[in-house]
Structures are given as structure tokens and as C-alpha cells.
Amino acid sequence: MKKLSQFFFLFFLFLSSSAQDNDLLKLLGNDKPKKEYVDYAFKSSRVIMSHSMELIRPGVMDLRILHRFGNVNQGGYQFFGLDQATMRLGLDFGLTKNMMIGVGRSTNKKEFDGFIKYRLIHQAKGPGSLPFSLLMAGGSTLNSTKWADPSRKNFFSSRLAYYGQVIIGRKFSEGVSLQLSPTIVHRNLVPTLQDPADMLAIGAGGRFKLSKRVSLNFDYYYRLNPNKTDGTLNPFSIGFDIETGGHVFQLHFTNAIGMNERVFLTETTNDWAKGDIQFGFNISRSFQLKKRK
């Protein structure tokens, strides 16, 4: 009986040691490099005025309020532009890990807009990964103001414009993210024969982290084929992102007129060199509509 007890003791001791060895082998086997995706290149799905390489998470609705005041060089009578204001109210939705959509309405020209953004490549580390992100965005706008001349024959299609964009970006470190955005804007109706129906531009955006919750962002577009006689200029914005839990505040200065791609690429007449600068802010508030899986 004593020998039988010793046998069972040794047998269970052997099983226990074997199990521990197997666990150690599994741990060693799982020590292979894994693909790790790189996120939070930007704290918002917008750099300032343009799309960033970030997406809204699936099941999340992002309420966005974009507010732009008048030119600061108007002086004290206009309270340095604060007496004037335009805004855009938008709702963005995360559909999948790699796709989001959004709709909005601007006071400028009472314009409605909508877009879809899809990620083709997600920057990652590890085997089979690529060191950058690649996204595509496309959208349209609808001008809903009254016709300037109702007596003539007007077409609904004249109210529409479209844009397409490729976003190529990389998060270089925890403190630096940069992206390029080749863009085309098509207008069904242009002001004059000298204005291109298809405006081509290359955008550049960046984020420089200053502290745990504050970063410096910039947003610039160089237009390749503008009408050089209409007084429009390249839009440039610079400001700060401030993250506070579920909110992201963006405080910025810009010469851009309007808050969608059609407007700021084709109608920006403000000149930084002349002090035609507007102060503005964007507020982003996320709401979880579906439980995370």
C-alpha cells in the first residue's frame, strides 16, 4: 500500500512537471514576432480642415461642430472677427475597422455634404506589415441657396460638386505624424470659362505632440491648376488639438473660407500676408452606439 501510494505520488508529480514544461514550450512558441497595428497618428479623423489618416471606431458616432469667425484684421468694431461666424454641423459614423461615413451641413451657401472614407493599408509593425497607412476618401456637396436668377433655366446638377482624395500617412513616433493628400475637386458649374471644372491639389498635414493631451497641427493645400485671375489662394491652417476624455477641441487660425473640400480649395480669397486670418474651433464628441466586441 505504501509502495502504491509512492507510485501515484511520483506519477502525479511527473504529470505536473510535464504540464509545466508544455506551458513553457507554448510560451516559447508564442514568442514569435506579431503584427502590431499603429493607431492614433492623429487624435481626430480630421487634421484641421481636411481628412486625417485616422478613422472613427466601429459603432461610434462622432458629433462635430466646426466654428469659424471673421477676419481678425477687421479691428475692434467687428470685435476682431468675433461678431461674424460661419459653422458646419456634422455627424460621422464608424461602420467597420476600415470604413467610416459622414454627413454635414454648413451655413456657407447652406451647403450639405457627405463622404465615405476607406482604409486600404493600415500602418503596422512586424511580419507582413507596411510602414505607412493608405486611405481613400470621396464625397459630394449640394448648394441649397436660392437661384441667383430664377427666371432662367436652372439645373439641379449645377448645385453639385464632388471630390476624391488619396491619403498617404505615417506615424513616425509618438510625437510626430505626417501625411500627404493628392486631391481632385470637380464642379458641375464654374463661375467663368477660365475656372477649371476639375481642381487638382496636393495636401499636407502634420501633428507634433507637445504634451500628453496637446498637439500642434497644420494643414496646407497646394493647388496645381488654379484660376490665377480670380484672387483665390492656397488654404493654410495651424492650431492646437486639446484632448479631454471623450472630447477633442481644435483651436486654430486659418485663411480658408468654408469647411468642406469644395469651398476651401476653390473659394479661399484670404491672404495670410495681409492679415486675412480667421480664428476658429472644432469640437468633436464621440458617442458609443454599439458595444465593443
Residue 231 belongs to what domain range?
40-288
- Check: CB of residue 34 under 8 Å from CB of residue 264: no
CATH of the domain at 91: 2.40.160.40
∠ CA(49), CA(51), CA(52), 5° rounding? 110
Judge whether 253 lies within some domain: yes
Grid cell, residue 18, equals 510535464
Give per-residue pLDDT as tens, 129-173: 899 999 999 999 999 998 888 888 889 899 999 999 999 999 999
Residue 1 domain-assigned?
no
Cβ atoms 41, 215 nearer than 8 A: no
Give pTM, 2 decimals.
0.83
Residue 116: inside a domain: yes
Residue 188 has pLDDT above 60, yes or no: yes
Q: CB–CB of 127/35 below 8 Å?
A: yes
Phi, psi of 184 (to 5 degrees): -130, 135
Task: Write out pLDDT tens, residues 43-102.
Answer: 899 999 999 999 999 999 999 999 888 787 777 776 766 777 889 999 999 999 999 999
Question: Which has the closest alpha carbon to 262: 159, 158, 140?
Answer: 140
At 293 the pLDDT is 62
Number of domains in the chain: 1
